[in-house]
Every structure is written in structure tokens, then in C-alpha cells.
Amino acid sequence: MAILKFRVYWEEDDAIYRDVLVKHTQSFQHLHQIILKAFEFDQLHAATFYRSNDVWKRGREISKEVYEKEYIVPPLLMIDTTIGSEIIDTNQHFIYVYDFAKNWTFLIELIQVIKNADADMTLEYPVVSRVEGVGPMQYGSKGLLGKNFADIEEKYDLSEAKDGFGEEGEDAHDREDEDDDSSDSDEEDDSSDDSGGGFLDDSFEAY
């Protein structure tokens, strides 16, 4: 048995990557799961691997399942395909795509083969061994607010409330300018009585 160390880069920024360790006898299903864990993604969406060469050209798929799309060659299935069976090069490459709607893409490179004698058998493989860079957020800012944010947003129509707040702020600014103009006029008019000033004061306080 050997331990395979893969470096998994986020396609859009190769400074962001995760190193993962897997047994060569484990399946691509295990590699799929540890990549998602490493980047803190859920496991709810479709996914597939592609065999690849050094210039990241996509070859045959190793897929989570057979999807309703055209295949040049029928895909292998992750759960039935061991990782070691697909290693034909000392720096073997794969491409991993998750959530076909979002098309999250990761570039995978084999960077080390650890012989059984040198492997840490106290670890439970697969495992994340290194984290570099802040990974992408799977669901953007809404992910920080929890999965129910969309329901709350729809129920209370937060986008409309935001627009309303802007309009109210503009009206308040206009009224404040009018109050300032009226106050200046009162100061210049010696005939103004105390009740006029009181009215402006009361209305400002009420506002």
C-alpha cells in the first residue's frame, strides 16, 4: 500500500490550494469527499473528475454518477474506481468539477508517493495535510448568514426594504434642509415671535 499526496488548486487562483493524503486503494469517492471537506463545501451537488495531462486537457470522466449529458466515452464511477488504478505518471493530473451550475473547478496534481513503511498509519485517511490561502465561499455572503437566509429575504422582501430606506433617508435630508432654511429666516426676521420658534423646535424633536 502507498499513500498518495495530491495538491488541489482552485482554478482561479493557484495560490489557494489544499494538500490531501489518500491511500492508493481508496476510491475517487474518497478523494471527492476530502476535497470538499478541505475547501469547506457541502456535498449536495453533482461532481466529476477528468483524467488530465500536463496542460490540463480533459480526458475520460470519473463521475459521481452517470448524468443526463453527452459522453464521448461512458464515464467510470467514482465509487468503483480506485485512485491507484488511474495513476500512470509520477505527477499525474486530474481536473475536478463540482456543482455544474456554479462550475467550481479544481486542478489536482500528484506531488508525492509515500511508501507504506514511511506512512503515518495512525492517521485516518483520507486527510487534509496542508491549507494555503483563503478558499472561495461556496454560497457567497449568504453562506455566512445560514441556509435559511433566502427564505427570510423572500418573506420580508429585504431588497424592497433597502430601497425604501434610501428614499426615506432622502426625504429626511430634504426636510432637514427646509427646517434649516426656516430657522435662518426666523433669525433674520425680528418680528418672529416665540411660538414660531417653538413650532420648529417641536417639529424637529418629534421627527
Could you give the C-alpha distances from 98 to 46, 150, 154, 158, 184, in angstroms and in order? Answer: 6, 22, 27, 30, 65
Question: Which grid coordinates are listed for 125?
Answer: 485517511
Which residue from 207, 200, 140 is spatially nearest to 172, judged by alpha carbons?
207
Distance CA 115, CA 200 (A): 85
The pLDDT value recorded for residue 168 is 45
Distance CA 85, CA 185 (A): 88
The pLDDT value recorded for residue 178 is 55
Cα 142 from chain centre:
10
What is the total residue count of the chain?
207
Which residue from 92, 66, 89, 95 is spatially nearest to 78, judged by alpha carbons?
66
The pLDDT value recorded for residue 199 is 32
Cα 46 from chain centre:
16
Element housing 177 (H / E): helix 158-188
CATH architecture, domain defined by 2-137: Roll (3.10)
Q: Which of 62-67's residues contact partners 24+ apart within 8 Å by CB, and which partners?
A: 62/28, 62/86, 62/94, 64/29, 64/32, 67/100
CB-CB contact of 138 with 10 (8 Å): no
The pLDDT value recorded for residue 148 is 52
In order along its 207 residues, the chain shows pLDDT tens digits of 899 999 999 999 999 999 999 999 999 999 999 999 999 999 999 999 999 999 999 999 999 999 999 999 999 999 999 999 999 999 999 999 999 999 999 999 999 999 987 889 889 999 999 999 999 999 975 444 444 544 544 555 544 444 444 444 445 455 555 555 555 545 444 444 444 443 334 433 433
Question: Which grid coordinates are listed for 120?
Answer: 503515518
The pLDDT value recorded for residue 141 is 55
* Domain limits, the chain: 2-137, 157-206
DSSP state of 203: H
Could you give the C-alpha distances from 148 to 102, 141, 173, in angstroms and in order? Answer: 20, 13, 35
